[in-house]
Amino acid sequence: MAQVSGKKVAILATNGFEQSELEVPRDRLREAGADVTIVSLKAGEIRGWDHTDWGRPVGVDKTLDEVKPEEFDALVLPGGQINPDLLRVEPKAVGFVKTFFDSGKPLAAVCHGPWLLVEAGVARGLTMTSYRSIKTDVKNAGAQWVDKEVVVDQGVITSRNPGDLEAFSAKIVEELKEGRHTHRKAA
């Protein structure tokens, strides 16, 4: 995998993230040399959801109150049903996503993670994918939904499910390596 030493990546999550959708990108990004920070609403630990039951806890590195979008080179939004649903009703989380989108830096969302892009009002005009159950939400937000393993549009990287995680993670590393900074269309 390409090296992205010195690049800082935030993973925004809370309780109920799909275990693999946080851990696989985190691990692949770290293997590629990125400095990965787990950001959440509160300090301590957040607990994942692993297929059909609660999974392993993951330590929170920083709270949303302790970080600013400009401190990071990329943002990753894991899915799971619970995690993005809890985050999309938190104004600080939605604001963080919106500000990050406006920065033009790589922004990646997998599975139900695109719910945060919808809530932040940034999906309009993008070609995206997501977990199939939120396809209508994504389309209603003005995005073109496609059924592909990984989609990149204006630096926004989306994937459908845990089966896509290797391609999703590789695409995040690629976008970071290229140092892409996109002037995105106003939502």
> Could you tell me the strand order of the sheet in which 53-59 lies?
17-18, 45-50, 53-59
Rounded-to-integer distance, Cα 108 and Cα 89, Å? 19
Q: Is 112 a catalytic residue?
A: yes
The amino acid at 21? E
Q: Which residues of 90-114 are buried (b: 16+ CB within 10 A; e: fewer)?
A: eeebbebbbebbebebbbbbbbbbb
| Residues noted as catalytic | 112
